[in-house]
Amino acid sequence: MDKNYVRKLIKNKLIHLENNHDELYRKLFLTNEWKKANTIGVTLSTSIEIDTTPIIKKAIIENKNVLIPRVVSKEKLEFVQYNSDTELEYSNFHILEPQNGKVMSVNDAELLIVPGLAFATNNGQRLGFGGGYYDRILREFDGDTISLANPEQIYKNPIWKVDDFDQRVKRILF
């Protein structure tokens, strides 16, 4: 199926879901990837995504460094160290992004929580939001990757067309 068609299908499903993911957070916090990571990269979620606020709060409580991405060009994200002084503003994509803070390499993170709309459990394929930002990041990232998903986002095999540039995640929790 066409990627844009699948994106629209999944977005329509996600709009109507409740956002109670305590069990999913528990699964994440029990993973070896989480336990060994001193620095995590994670987006500030949108209304249709799994809320990342509890993840960020837990990381701070556990004295982990948190890196939040921001868009710097049509093709590039950079990661900024997040703390209580970080100023946030909405981007052109209606995503909260840091406006200040120390810019870090994504490879400073040991764990990257990767957003997406749909995931294939047999091979870790993910369907993102269409900008290719995370495909480019994942090509250079050498740490652990985990995506969190609702059951409605999970497929055994991709139902969308997979392109050569599409990057996989190492683990999907749902």
Residue ranges of the annotated binding site for substrate are 44, 49
Binding-site residues from annotation: 3-7, 44, 49, 126-134
Q: CB under 8 Å to 154, separation ≥6 — which residues?
A: 118, 119, 121, 172, 174
> Dihedral through CA 59, CA 32, CA 36, CA 150, nearest 10?
-30
**Can you say how many angstroms the Cα of residue 2 is from the centroid of all Cα atoms in its chain?**
22
Helix axes 22-29 and 53-61, enclosed angle (nearest 10): 40
Binding-site residues from annotation for ATP: 3-7, 126-134
